[in-house]
Structure formats: C-alpha cells, structure tokens
Structure 1
Amino acid sequence: LPQGQLSILQEKIDHLERLLAENNEIISNIRDSVINLSESVKDGQKNPEAINFSQGSVSELFPSTSVLLAVDSEDCLFASKTGGRSSGVQMLDVYDILPFDNPDGGVWKQGFDITYNENEWDSEPLQVFVVPHSHNDPGWLKTFDDYFRDQTQHILNNMVIKLQEDNRRKFIWSETSYFSKWWDGIDSQKKHAVKRLIKDGQFEIVTGGWVMPDEASSHYFALIDQMIEGHQWLEKNLGIKPKSGWAVDPFGYSPTMAYLLKRAGFSHMLIQRVHYSIKKYFSTQKTLEFFWRQNWDLGSSTDILCHMMPFYSYDIPHTCGPDPKICCQFDFKRLPGGRISCPWRVPPEAIHAGNVQHRAWLILDQYRKKSKLFRTNVLLVPLGDDFRYAESSEWDQQYQNYQKLFDYMNSRPEWHVKAQFGTLSDYFEALHKESSLSEKSSNSFFPVLSGDFFTYADRDHHYWSGYFTSRPFYKHLDRVLESYIRAAEILYSLALVQSSKSEKMSVFPSVDNYKLLTEARRNLGLFQHHDAITGTAKDWVVVDYGTRLFHSIMNLKKVIIDSAHILILKDKSAYNYDTATPFLKMDDVQASQDSLPRKTVIKLTLQPR
C-alpha cells in the first residue's frame, strides 16, 4: 500500500485501540459497581436501615408490604424422580379415546338428555348459588378506554349503589385494570362503601390479575407479572388478596396457569371454554370438578380444585341448565321492550304473584338437571354476560325478579331447595363443606386430572387455533417489551441503591422512572388479555395495544439509559441528569408502533467523541 494509505490505516487502528480501552474502563466500572452493590445488599441484610429509599418519595410508590412466596421442595426435585402417573385422569388419554363426533343432543345440542327422580333431594336439599358477574374485555370491539367510558365505569358505579340496597345481593369482578382506573376517579365515600361491601362478603374480586389472560400465546413471565401487578394494586388499595380463580373467556386452558394460581395461594378456580366433546365426556363421568395436578407432580402439592362449566357459553341462556330456550327466559334484561331479546322467541316474564309458582318450578327443573352433572348437591349458576349491568334498570330487573324466585322456592320445603345470590368463594366454601374437603380423604371425592385443554372448539369442529400465530408482529413486540422490562428493572434497582449511597439521590429520577416501569408493566399486562395478544380484537384496537407497547419500550429505554449512566460512573458525584443530552444511546431505533426497528449506526472518525 502507498505510504499515505498506511498512515490512515494506522490512525484508524490507533483510534479503535483507544475505543477498546474506553470500553474496558466502562466494563471495569460496571464490575466495581456490582461488587459494591453486593456489599451494600449484605450490609442491608445485616442492617435494614443501611439502605434508605425514603428520599424523593420513591418509597410511597412501593408496595406497602413485602410478600414472601415459599417454594415447595417438590417443585425442584421432580426431574430427579421417577415413577408412574399420579393422576387418575390424563388428558392425553382422554383425547385418544374420544371420537370427537358431534351428534345432536336435543335441547342441549352438544350434550344429552338429562333426567332425574324428584325424590333425590328429600334427604339433602339442593343448594343453588346464583353468581352475578359482568365480563369486561379490556379491549375487543372497542379500545380499553372507550369501553371504560361507555360501559365499565357505569357498571361499577351502579354496583356500589345497588348492592347497598339489599345485603342479600352479591357481585363478582375480575379485571383489576378496569377497577384501578375506576378507583382513581371516585371519591373517598364511594371507596369506603366498596371496602365495606368486600368486608361484608357482597362484592368479591376474583383472580385479580391485571387482565383475564390468554394461556396459549402468553409467556409465563408476563402471566406472573400481570398477576403481581393486579395483586399488588389490590393489596395496596383494598387490603385484600383474591382466593378464587375465574377464567370464563380464554380460548383453552394451560396447566401452567393452574400452577401459578396454586403457588399464588389460590385453592380453587373456574374455567369455561373447553372443547364441547370433552365437556360432554366429563359430564357423563361427573368429572366437571376435579383436582388439577401438574403432570410432573408425583405427590399432590400442586393440586387445585377446578370447576369446569358444562355448557356452550358463560351467558345466561347457557348457565342455568341444559335448555337455553328455558334459561333465556330468566335473563330479565331481555324482557319485552328492551334492546335485546331471546333468539328462541320465547321472552322472559316479570315475576309476580300470579306466575311465581310456575316460573320458579320451571327454572328449578333446569337447576336440578344441571346438578345431575356434578357429584354434590351444591350448584353454581353464573348470571351475567359481556358488559352486563351497565344500566341501573338491569340491576333492578335481574336482582328483584330473582329474589322473588328465591323467596318462593325457599318457602316451599317440599321442593328441597335453598337458592340465593352468592360470590364464587361462597360457592366453593359450600362445596368444601358438602364434600368434606377438610378430611384427609378429600382427594378421593373428586378425581385428579393432569394435562391441558387445548385446542378449543366451541361447535361443529370449529377449532380456535389460528390465534396461536395471528398478528405475529405484535406477538413479537410483546416479547421485546418483556425483555426491556426485565433489563430496566434490574438496572433501575442497581442504580437506586447506588444513588441512595451518595448525594445524588435527589438528582437521580427515581420517582419518574419507577412510574415509567409501572406503566410498562401494566401495558404489558394489558396485552396479555385474551383478545389482545391473541390478535382477536378489531384493527383499531390492535393499533391501540401496539401504541401502548411501543410507548413503553421508548420509556424503558430512558430508564435503562438513566440507570446505566449512574452505574458506569466511577465517580458518582459526576452524575448529572439532563433529559436534553442523554449520556448513552440505545442500539436500535423504532419510529412507530408498526415499524421495524433499525440499528443505530456509529460513524467512526478521527475526531474525538
């Protein structure tokens, strides 16, 4: 090469060597920071007051209490053990023996004709728990915010008013994402009323995750994270911890979710969307209630009692019994003159003295037939549908007419029935008592099942499998946000400790960045909703989800930059927070929620950086 080109090449080599030296120094500083942090943690364990996060009001954002989760010894030893299957019902075996045909079952199209002897309940009355609920999708046909504005806030506002009118009324709620948004906008008097309703057992939060998540496409990290986010909010604001799982709308069910619920302290749960052939088979075997055990568990430490709803849907026509034409007549929102009616063209009738006997007997017949699919005389009857109870009139229609039916049934001792409103936990508590679950032999009363409930089909071999891969761009964006959240949480925690040991605590944006972390976790949690990550929402709703994911990724990059800045400085006193001139740059740039990221190009010149 000519002498001039050799000189230029030598200069570039020298420049690269200087850059490598700078990088080595940065890595050395990070290593020193980690070592110092480890020593700080040890000091903090010996002396909890050694690390003080009270400055900057950041402590106000943390959960008020810490939660310690015990790891069962069996969870870590299963791989080293050998043995046969420990469950009585193996779903892989069930799939092998079922023909998956679809014969016409009569009024219960996907089932069979149910008969009973009227004297069956003479010695042990039928206990009926009617559980009012409203399924609120955090985005589907409308965006999360639009649903809240148009329907959800009115449901919760009416709940506070209507439950207080009669202490026999009950109601359950699942989605903490909606509940927290509503809570932030109500006054202290209404908040006090809600806490009293919870204390009195009239109102129950079920599952309590940020959403009711999909269980096929979601990563277990996100499933846990959205549950933590919801439970921390409930503990901080309501002082409660949910104990009953409620999943009526996810499109199939994973044993992983059952395991997470069990390890979160739940003892029972409910599922609905299971293949119709499996529901029919379980109904014939009376195995709709079972202990769900992990396949790898050779003991019983992962057992959680699960209730599978037997019929087509969670709406009112498919929950009181096998005949939707009859059950629809007891959805009093469909009374003549309303906006919706029964597709079977037999409308409901308002309950009065002249028809109460006939109407009570009509629905009791459905209750009895449904109870024949289960092993106890305790019956669960959900009463609700998507975004129900948004209007004050519906609360009156449902609660007043059902109370008249209950009062009449309960006044007829020869009918041998006790019917009432209840929460999900009311039902499971009665079930525990009925089946003597407190005894050592309780597991023998209900079968033990292992396996999953995929792939779901609701009718006519319509398999819900497309959502496993639909809208792959946003499924990928979900995983990207997950990785940014974990990286940002780690760096933020390290930076918070470092800043607390120096005079830079007030300079480091701990409060602002903690809020960005919380917002990111909630946006990730929102996307685990069974109409979000699945890709089953309308296009404009998907754009709203994508925008939330994108904004959180951008915000977390800021948290990472701010945290890494203070960590790599050997002299912490040199730290200076300036939003206009960030100390570091990320390695990729994404312009919008629907664009591909581009790698940042670093141009090397002879000029110093």
Structure 2
Amino acid sequence: MHITIYYAILLLLGVGCFEATYKSQSGCGYGSCNLGQTNKLNVHIVPHTHDDVGWLKTIDQYYYGSRNNIQHASVQYILDSIIEALVKNPERRFIYVEIAFFWRWWNEQSNDTRKVVKELVNGGRLEFISGGWCMHDEATTHYNSIIDQHSLGAEFLRDQFGNCARPKIAWQIDPFGHSREAASLFAQMGFDGLFFARLDYQDEDRRNQTKTMELVWKGSANLDRQSWLFTSILSNFYDPPDTFCFDSSCQDQPIIDDPRLHDYNVPERVQAFINAAHDQARGFVTNHIIMTMGRDFQYENANTWFKNLDKLIKYVNAQQVNGSDVNVFYSTPSCYIYALNKVGREWTSKIDDFLPYGDTPHGFWTGFYTSRPAFKRYERYANNILQATRQLNAFSQINLRNRIFYLSEAMGIAQHHDAISGTEKQHVADDYIQRLSYGIDIAEDVINNAYAKLLPKENKLSMTPTQFLCEYLNISECLPIEEQKEFTLTLWNPTIHPVTHHVRIPITKEYLIRDPTGSIVSAEYLPISNMTQNIPGRNSSAQNQYIFTAQLPALGFSTYYFEAKSSKKEKTEKEKVRKETCYLENENLRIEFDDQGNLRKIINLKKHISVRFITQGFYWYSSFPGNNSAEEFQASGAYVFRPLTSEVRPVSTTRTITCIKTKTVQSALIVFNEWASQEIHLFQGMSSIEMQWTVGPIPIDDNIGKEIIVRYDTDIDSASKYYTDANGREVLERIRNYRPTWNYSIIENVSGNYYPINSRIWIRDSTRQLTILTDRSEGGGSIYDGSIEIMIHRRLVHDDSEGVDEPLNETAFGKGLVVRGKHFLILESPANSALAHRVDAQQLFMNPIATFALPQISYTKYSSIYRQTWSALSENMPLNVHLLTLDQLNPKQYLLRIEHYFELNEDETYSHPVKIDLQTIFQSLGTITGLIELTLAANFPLSQLQRLDWITTDKQSSHVDVSSEQFLLKDTIVILNPMQIKTFQVTL
C-alpha cells in the first residue's frame, strides 16, 4: 500500500484530476492559505480527528484498535486512511494534533510513506496543530509539565519535518475549562492563536449574543503583550454541523448527486448547509467562520468523509451564481486565524480565565480537580524524578538522554485531559501509573550511572554501590534497608539554592548517622503512628523512624552514612502529651489546641500576628445520587462535583490528640476515626506548618458517595475574596458567587465556587494572610468568609454520565483506596507573604531526591573513596530565580530554562528584574561558547519569531518587538523580569 500511495501522489502532483473550487498555493505556512472572498461568507472547512491519548481505553488499545467492545477506535488505521485520502486530491487538507499517536505511527512507516507524508506537510496539506505529546488538561496540570510535553512533541516535529511542521495554533478543544496561564504559555511558545470548545454555558450564551466568541486573551498580569493570544471559541463544540457528519460511524445522509436517482438530495443538502453557515455566522463578527468536520476517533475510513466534503464544497459554491453568499473551502485553524488577522478589525479582550466550567445549571466540572488524588501526587513525584535525572545526566555527562525518554514520554501522556484529570476508566488509570512507574525504573538506572561518575573521588577506582529509590517512604516503608548493618542516603537538591530538608527514614534498629563531614547527626528516634503502620499494602516491619535535618548544597548532593549501633542507647528525650491541652512552638510559630484536639490558634511570634480557628478538620459532602435523566438529576461523578446539600458533615464528632515534642520537631497526631487522621509537624527553624493527612478507606456501605474536604475556618475577614494559583505560577483573585465577565446566576453555591489549586490558596484581611500550599492539584474554595476548604479525596457510587461510564470508586488491597498528602500552612502579613509561599512552594514542587545504597564497607573506607557532598555551583544564585530545565541534548549542547518566579509588585525585594550569569550553572562542565535564545517550546530561535499582530477595542496592539539585535547576547549575563521564563540552547 505504501508504494502505491507514493506513486499516486507523484501522479497527482503533476496532473490535476479534480475540479478544484480554488487554486491552492504551493508551500506551507500562511502563504498557502485561501483567504476567501471579501464579499462572501467564507466557510473554512477543517477536517480533523480528536484522538484521546487514553480515556475509555488505554493508549495502546486506542492505537491498535483492541477492545472495541468498549469503544470502536483505532488510530493506526485513521492515520493510514488520512494519508491515502489526502494523496487522492491536492485540494484536501487535514490537521493532526496528538503527537503521542503520530510518533508511534511514524516509527512504523517505510521510507516511501515517510516521503509522501513530508510532501504533504511541506505542501501545507497535512498540518500539525498544537504539536504537544497530547492535548493536555488545563486545570490540574503544572506549568513545568505543560512545557515539557509540548517541547517533546515540538522536538519530534522539528527533527523529522523541519520548519513546515512547526505548529502555529494551540488546539484545546476538549479540556474541561481553560487556564489563563496555559494561554500565556502558548503565546510564549510562539503560537498565533488558540481554539477551544468548552466554556461555561452562561458565558457561551452571552458571547453568542454579543458576538464576542473571538477575543484577545491577555494571558499574564506580568508579561504584557508577549503573553497575549488570539482566542477563538468553537460554536458547535468540535463537531460538524447537525446532519453533516460523514464518518462511517455516523447516520447522516451522504451527498447523493446523481439526479437520475430517486434519493438525489443535492438541493436540500446544499440549502441545509447554507442555512447552517448563516446560523453559525450570527455569533461572529467577520465574514469568516470555521466548521470542524470530525470528532472523536473519526476518519478511520477517511474516504467517506472526504468524498462527501468534496461534493459539498462543489455544490454549495455552485449556488453562488444563483445569489448565494456562502463560499466554502478546505482550510486549517491557522489559515482561519490568518484570514481573521487580515480583516483588520479590533477585538475585545479578557484578563481572567475560563474556570470553572459548567455545562448545565447543576453540572459544574469541578470534581475532577481532586479525582484520583493518589495519581495526581504520583505524577508530581514522577516529574520531580524526571527533572533531577536530567540534571544528573547532564553533570555526570553519561549521555543517557535516550533512556530518560521513557519517563519523558510517560509524563507527556499523563498530561492528557483524561489522564491527570482523573476522568478515565480505572484500567486506563492503572495503565498511566504503570507507564510512570516503568519510566521511573529506567530513570533510576540513569541516576545510578550518574552517581557512579559523580561519587568516586579522583584517582579512586571502585565499584560504586548501586543507588536505588524507595518509592514508599510516604508510608514509612523502605524494605531494602531493613536490618542492614550500614547503608547510605544520598539526597540530590534539584534547585539552585541551598535547602534545609527534613528527612524521615523508617528503620528496624538504631543507627549512628554521619553527615558529609563525618560528624554524628542529631536525629530523633520516634515511633511511626499506628495509622501509618495499618495502611493497607504496607509491608514494612519498621515501627520507628529517624527524623533529622539535612543541609543540602545548591544543585548538588549530600550523603549520610548510617551504621547500626552496637548496643541499645537511651531513647530520644521527648515530652509526650495525650488527651490534654497541647501546644507546639518554635522560634517562629506557636500552635495551640484545646483539650479535645481542636486546632484553636496559630501565632506568628516574630510578626506578632495570630489567627484564631473556629474549627479545623475533616468533613464530607454527600454526593448527589442522580440518574442523569435530566439536568436536575445530575449526579456527582469523576468530572462533576455536585453535593446533595451545601451542608457538610464532620467525619467524627470526637477526636484524640497525642503530642510529641523533641528538639528537632514537635508533632500533634489527631485521630478523627479509623479512616481519617492528621499529623501536624512544626520543625525547628521553620516558618511554615506541615499538616500531613491520611484519609481512607472511605466507607460507602450506606450507598452514599462521599467528597472529603479539609476545612480551615478562621476569624480572618476575607470579604468574599480568595486567591488561587494557575498551574503553579500566577495567582488569580476569586470572588465568591461572581464572574468578572458576565452576570453569574447562582445555582450550585458550593461546586460553582470551586477552583483548581495546583500549588496554593489563600485568604487575607488587612493584617493577616493564611496561605495553604498543596503537594498536588486539588479543588477548593472559600464558601464562607474566613474559610478555606480543600477537597482531598472522593469515593462515589454513581456515574455522572459524562462519558466514563463507571463510578469513581478506587480500591486497593481489597479495600477503598487510602490516600496520604500534605498541606503547608503559612501565616504572614500580606506584604510579607510572597517570599514565604513562593520559596516554599518551589521547594515543595522540586523536592530533594533520596536514593539509598548498601556499601558494605566501614565509614572510614567509604569516606576515603567517595565524595559525600558536591555542588555544581560555586556562587550563590538569586533567590527569585528558578532552574526549570537542564537537559543535555548531546555531548556539547544543553537545553536550559530559567525563570523569575515572583510576580510584579508581589514583594518589595524580589519583584524586580534580576541578573544571572548562565556560566555559573555550567561552571563544572566547561565554558559556554554558544548561546541561542529559543521560544518556550525550544523548537526555534526566538529571533525568528514573527507572531501576528492584533488590535483590541481599547486601541492596544499586541505587537512585540523581536528584532534580532535583542537576542545577540554578547556575554552570558541574562536579565529576567518578573514571571519571565527564558529558554536557551547552550554550547560548551
């Protein structure tokens, strides 16, 4: 088949065999676009397929077409069929989005087929849109992973196809709400526009009526015009107009154009299409509209689509001689955007986001902000491993980037809008997790090889002990070190700042712990709580743990050596208080409880401010048990959060508290019942409070689904306002029961006020700000003044009828899933909060990576052979700068991303431009001899960026000066402005 296609395209390129409705221009890019006719309604026909990278089936099942009893879909046949159909007619066009699928298909093709595909791409007939590994979610993703998955796809397209494959448009047609930060990132990647389909039904109604379905989205409050992105909202979801689906899976009538037949239907089909075009045009302001022709996993038989579209175009345009003003032709999203740009009109703008998304009065898609919380945390952990592995690979120069690809690819798949969102079937969620686990296993091998180069001292040849991860440390389990006489713990700090890290190591015997200088570490030997020991699936016999403070160098490691004590030593001195009034205190904070275990007050001792807690603890909403037969019967499910009532119930009316105080840490273990507890930790020297929660198995024996929240009710006068981050970066103000751009009708007063919390949420008054940091994406809001609630777990008994077709009821080891996580509480004055929450959030996101080894040699010998601490940096780096990416591309070239992670006017000291010398990062590797600044997706030089310019109704231009002079760096000094990310290709 491949050779047949090849010869067919050579023939068709030379001899026209179809009566074209217009003469296409050669080449790719905007020069190949048909801009229509100025006196006609121009209908841009965009053939497309939406191929979920896992949802009801796994990515493998979708690609190969297995388990079609679940859903008939096979991407390999879709791509085969599309190429064959495009070859038959040079006027046809098609867009493709999900590179995770295309990459698989491409690797299977012959050289002849690859040549055909390259001809189609170079001719602008097959166009890649978005170009990410997947169509990522926008609510529960972190900006680091969004950038990575787009870079992964962009690198593939650049390397295989060159400039003609560079995507110009973001295509987010199915994610469940849209983030302002995502728009900003797309703009920084060099995109000219964004399309999406889902927005709140109230917002959509208003925009249709006011003809504001297209706008300039100002994606950042800090980056000005470089973050602006033209945005078009698809009016018909991403479907064809009614009755015009020509896929073999559809039931609509084909175009029957033989007038001799009784079923001849050209006149009525043509008129129906003209009517549909005019109906759609009523919501738009130009004489251009876009019609998406395709849907989920369509075009498996592309001939059925294209044959009918060819006829439709021919016969609709033929009516122009009879007075029709409709001009229809094959197009692409980029050509449509280009046509709008050439109209030369002014556009409305928007500065907030499109969250939350509600498709009906009772259908707010805010449940998925928390759905599958264990997976959401595991994805963050996997990204932590990925970034550290890239760094270790770079500094050790072992050149194993191809091995890191497995984790990069698994992370790219995990960003899909039915992956990290938690809205997939259970067996698909299992597959996503397995892929991450496999990628981590291979990354562990890279880490081990890197340490084999970094650990040994010069001229000391030895077999370096194998390094390994203990992935169950969060439940106090590390089986390989149990009963060992000696072992080492090496901590890699992936940030460019020294950090203080609090280490917890589960053990079965007592040890002396030596720091990198050989000194004995002051460590606390404390019991592991019964709640932890009883977590289902925990196999460790460890009943105690060591807790100590580690000081880690910037972008480097420290090794701690554990050697078993020869005899029992006196236990750590500690004060233990049970069922009595308790308080925790260090030099910065005091935490007070009553004798029932209720958190009552937090005092910032240095700032002389305090917050009183009216209540704090675990509560649950009863999930609405609807049958989804009508809007009013909408059930709560994987996507939708709909509580039965706005009232919450406490998980328990009583609780017990046990307080333990040592020199290193003071803790309060509060047990609510057999399935809900929290441990509040206050470490010496810290100005934040760690609250570790454990929830599950959530009981559903009563056949009632339960949405578990942690609620913090305080005396802060928050005046209906609260603040949440967008994808871990900029923070947006939220106002209860309010939307900035339309008159919001309040129907669901709880779920309608939930927003994604990717890293932080806060409330404040004139003197106090309470910030809560999260270790994963969660949903939450402020339903009452002074209150923050965060949903941390869900176990449901009904499906919400949004497609996944099964209840969100996660189990493990024969029981409901137990989930453990952390919140960090920060109490500061509003003026001083930014430093605390920005720095702590970054360190929480990029946590030190712990690896263990069994050297089986004494400390004296170990210290003589191996380095015990090392840093890539010889100078201190500015505190407001973060190393986002360090990836070795080849022996002499590196990909580097650095960012300023403070916002404008956020902090008196750190919200200003900052200088950084890039050579400092590469000091241990060599001298920088070449430096090229790239776009955010790292697929072409920033000096070559030429984005379309737009004018807003307030007479502002989106134009950004990107003259080449700006990017000819004379040295390695770079200036970063607040919230700016800079990307470089570095040659040593």
Does the alignment reach a TM-score above 0.5?
yes
1:132 aligns with 2:47: yes
Which residue is equivalent to 1:368?
A: 278
Which residue is equivalent to 1:585?
A: 467
Query: Which of 386, 389, 392 is 1:488 aligned to?
Result: 389
Superposed, 1:457-476 pairs within 5 Å as 457-476=358-377
Residues 31-75 of structure 1, C-alpha deviations (whole Å, 9 max, x = no match): xxxxxxxxxxxxxxxxxxxxxxxxxxxxxxxxxxxxxxxxxxxxx
SS at match of 1:566: helix
SS at match of 1:304: strand
Residues 341-361 of structure 1, C-alpha deviations (whole Å, 9 max, x = no match): 36xxxx555344453233212
Query: Which of 355, 363, 378 is 1:477 aligned to?
Result: 378
Which residue is equivalent to 1:314?
A: 238
Residues 312-369 of structure 1, C-alpha deviations (whole Å, 9 max, x = no match): x3222xxx3xxxxxx2x22123xxxx65436xxxx55534445323321221111012
Q: Report the alpha carbon displacement of residue 393 of structure 1 after superposing the two structures with TM.
A: 4.5
Which residue is equivalent to 1:246?
A: 171
1:154 aligns with 2:77: yes
Which residue is equivalent to 1:224?
A: 147
Partners in 2 of 1:269 and 1:560 — Cα distance?
Answer: 38
Give 5+ residue unaligned stretches, structure 2: 1-35, 66-73, 486-562, 567-855, 859-988
Which residue is equivalent to 1:180?
A: 103
Residues 355-410 of structure 1, C-alpha deviations (whole Å, 9 max, x = no match): 3233212211110121111110011000100000012543355434433434434x
1:394 aligns with 2:318: no
CA contact (8 A) 1:331 1:398 kept: no
Q: Report the alpha carbon displacement of residue 122 of structure 1 after superposing the two structures with TM.
A: 11
Cα 1:164/1:123, change in 2 over 3 Å: closer
SS at match of 1:305: strand
Partners in 1 of 2:125 and 2:477 — Cα distance?
Answer: 50
Partners in 2 of 1:538 and 1:491 — Cα distance?
Answer: 36
Partners in 1 of 2:305 and 2:41 — Cα distance?
Answer: 26
Which residue is equivalent to 1:420?
A: 329
SS at match of 2:49: strand
- Read off the aligned partner of 1:562 and give its amino acid letter: N
CA contact (8 A) 1:478 1:524 kept: yes
Cα 1:585/1:525, change in 2 over 3 Å: same
Partners in 2 of 1:541 and 1:583 — Cα distance?
Answer: 37
- Read off the aligned partner of 1:381 and give its amino acid letter: M
Q: Report the alpha carbon displacement of residue 267 of structure 1 after superposing the two structures with TM.
A: 1.2
Cα 1:298/1:520, change in 2 over 3 Å: closer
Task: Determine what percentage of the aligned residue pairs are the same residue.
Answer: 28
1:598 aligns with 2:478: yes
CA contact (8 A) 2:376 2:420 kept: yes
Q: Report the alpha carbon displacement of residue 455 of structure 1 after superposing the two structures with TM.
A: 1.2
Partners in 2 of 1:252 and 1:340 — Cα distance?
Answer: 28
- Read off the aligned partner of 2:279 and give its amino acid letter: K
- Read off the aligned partner of 2:380 and give its amino acid letter: R
CA contact (8 A) 2:255 2:266 kept: no
Cα 1:472/1:299, change in 2 over 3 Å: closer
Partners in 2 of 1:197 and 1:161 — Cα distance?
Answer: 11
SS at match of 1:130: strand
Residues 183-232 of structure 1, C-alpha deviations (whole Å, 9 max, x = no match): 00001111111111111111110000000000111111100000000100
Partners in 2 of 1:455 and 1:446 — Cα distance?
Answer: 24
Which residue is equivalent to 2:210?
A: 285
1:261 aligns with 2:186: yes
Q: Which has the higher contact order (CA 8 A, sep 6+)?
A: 1
Partners in 2 of 1:292 and 1:375 — Cα distance?
Answer: 17
Q: Report the alpha carbon displacement of residue 432 of structure 1 after superposing the two structures with TM.
A: 1.2
Residues 403-426 of structure 1, C-alpha deviations (whole Å, 9 max, x = no match): 3434434x5362122111111112
CA contact (8 A) 2:277 2:326 kept: no
Cα 1:232/1:298, change in 2 over 3 Å: closer
CA contact (8 A) 1:456 1:463 kept: yes
Matched length: 440
Cα 1:446/1:488, change in 2 over 3 Å: same
Partners in 2 of 1:168 and 1:122 — Cα distance?
Answer: 17
Which residue is equivalent to 1:551?
A: 438
Partners in 2 of 1:139 and 1:535 — Cα distance?
Answer: 11
CA contact (8 A) 1:295 1:451 kept: no
Which residue is equivalent to 1:212?
A: 135
Q: Report the alpha carbon displacement of residue 433 of structure 1 after superposing the two structures with TM.
A: 1.3
Superposed, 1:17-28 pairs within 5 Å as none
Q: Report the alpha carbon displacement of residue 566 of structure 1 after superposing the two structures with TM.
A: 0.6
Partners in 2 of 1:351 and 1:515 — Cα distance?
Answer: 54
Superposed, 1:183-198 pairs within 5 Å as 183-198=106-121
Superposed, 1:65-104 pairs within 5 Å as none
Partners in 2 of 1:227 and 1:484 — Cα distance?
Answer: 19
CA contact (8 A) 1:456 1:465 kept: yes
Q: Which TM-score applies when normalising by structure 1? A: 0.68
Partners in 2 of 1:374 and 1:356 — Cα distance?
Answer: 27
Cα 1:384/1:572, change in 2 over 3 Å: farther
Which residue is equivalent to 2:355?
A: 454
Which residue is equivalent to 1:80?
A: none
Partners in 2 of 1:199 and 1:414 — Cα distance?
Answer: 37
Q: Report the alpha carbon displacement of residue 589 of structure 1 after superposing the two structures with TM.
A: 4.3
Moved more, 412-421 or 377-386: 412-421
Which residue is equivalent to 2:246?
A: 332
Cα 1:284/1:561, change in 2 over 3 Å: same
Larger helix share, 1 or 2: 1
Partners in 1 of 2:271 and 2:380 — Cα distance?
Answer: 53
- Read off the aligned partner of 2:467 and give its amino acid letter: K
Residues 502-539 of structure 1, C-alpha deviations (whole Å, 9 max, x = no match): xxxxxx5x3xx322211111100100000111111111
Cα 1:128/1:122, change in 2 over 3 Å: closer
Partners in 2 of 1:138 and 1:269 — Cα distance?
Answer: 20
Cα 1:203/1:392, change in 2 over 3 Å: closer
Which residue is equivalent to 2:315?
A: 405
Which residue is equivalent to 2:746?
A: none
Residues 530-574 of structure 1, C-alpha deviations (whole Å, 9 max, x = no match): 011111111111111110011111221221121122112222672
CA contact (8 A) 1:356 1:408 kept: no
Partners in 2 of 1:276 and 1:522 — Cα distance?
Answer: 35
1:432 aligns with 2:432: no
SS at match of 2:225: coil
Cα 1:314/1:537, change in 2 over 3 Å: same
Q: Report the alpha carbon displacement of residue 140 of structure 1 after superposing the two structures with TM.
A: 0.8
1:358 aligns with 2:358: no
